[in-house]
Amino acid sequence: MFVLYFIKLYALFALIQSQAVDGEVDVWPHPQYATSSPDFLQIDSTKFVFTDKSVDKCDLLSHAITRTKETAFIQSCSRTGVDGYKPFHQNVRTLQLNANFKGDLSGIEIDVKSCEKLPHLEMNEKYNLVVDGSARTARLESDTIWGAIRGLETFSQLVSNVGQNQFVINETDIRDFPRFAYRGILVDTSRHYIPVNVLYENLNAMAYNKLNVFHWHIVDEQSFPYVSKRFPDLSLKGAYNPETHVYSPQDVQNVIEYGRQRGIRVLVEFDT
């Protein structure tokens, strides 16, 4: 459970939008290359547009855009400081009078060269993200859908809430790729049963932190929570509770799909 708590703690840092109008790049994990200006743009979350400029449309990108709309424009989160939580609500008019105010950011254009269906060990997660005040539109480019998913997560962390459905983002140039191809955690549900909805929460936390492997140690000698259609007695006699502490084949498939949509490989380990 320590691993679960630890990764959720990092997810909290990722969710609390800490990018301020001072031009700091507060993105987790820190990008390979990032520059930011004190100049900033205002975002109206009710009018902001995500535009898919890719030649081939991708269902994974559609899912990622939907999630980004939810995480980037959170009304209950604001910036933090060295002394802890600091509300960053300001009058919109006050922001517009700031010398570094460069106008409104109307949307983000996303250009993905290829849309793979399944994440894999050698997947390319590189992306380029530019927020340019003169263009009034952010641009995210990636050779693969996996890079686009990581780039959208970065974009959501760059946005700061200033209240009244208004947000700000600094002019930023980011070029990023992971240092390690395998970045993951192991969860052991044989020794401690974890409900499916909590597994989903951990996959969300992994996505916030750009992790990409969820090693699911689903069964062992301590318990056998997987409901096998061919050998039903394994869970009937081996689960902590054969009614409430089990995973159906559909549950496993759902967890795998939930991870896939976030660029995470779910490796389900069955011990015999």
Q: Are residues 117 and 224 in the same domain?
A: no
CB atoms within 10 A of CB 145: 27
Question: What pLDDT does 92 receive?
Answer: 65
Using DSSP's 3-state secondary structure scheme, residue 168 falls into: strand
Q: Could you list the pLDDT tens digit for every one of the 272 residues in the chain?
A: 545 554 554 554 444 444 444 556 889 999 999 999 999 999 999 999 999 998 888 999 999 999 999 999 987 665 554 444 344 445 666 777 888 899 999 999 999 999 999 999 999 999 999 999 898 999 999 999 999 999 999 999 999 888 778 899 999 999 999 999 999 999 999 999 999 999 999 999 999 999 999 999 999 999 999 999 999 999 999 999 999 999 999 999 999 999 999 999 999 999 87
- Compute the distance between CA of residue 98 and CA of residue 103 in angstroms, rounded to an integer: 11
The reported pTM is 0.87
CB atoms within 10 A of CB 33: 10
Question: What pLDDT does 88 receive?
Answer: 46
Q: What is the CATH number of the domain that holds 52?
A: 3.30.379.10
- Compute the distance between CA of residue 89 and CA of residue 47 in angstroms, rounded to an integer: 20
Q: Are residues 94 and 136 in the same domain?
A: yes
Asked which of 150, 176, 202 is the last residue of a domain, the reply is 176
**Domains held by the chain: number:** 2
Tokens representing 34 are: 């990032």
Q: Do the strands 166-176 and 137-144 form a parallel or antiparallel pair, or are they unpaired?
A: unpaired
What is the four-CA torsion angle of 10, 14, 18, 24, rounded to 10 degrees?
90
Question: What pLDDT does 3 receive?
Answer: 55
- Compute the distance between CA of residue 137 and CA of residue 50 in angstroms, rounded to an integer: 10
Contact 131, 102 (CB under 8 A): no
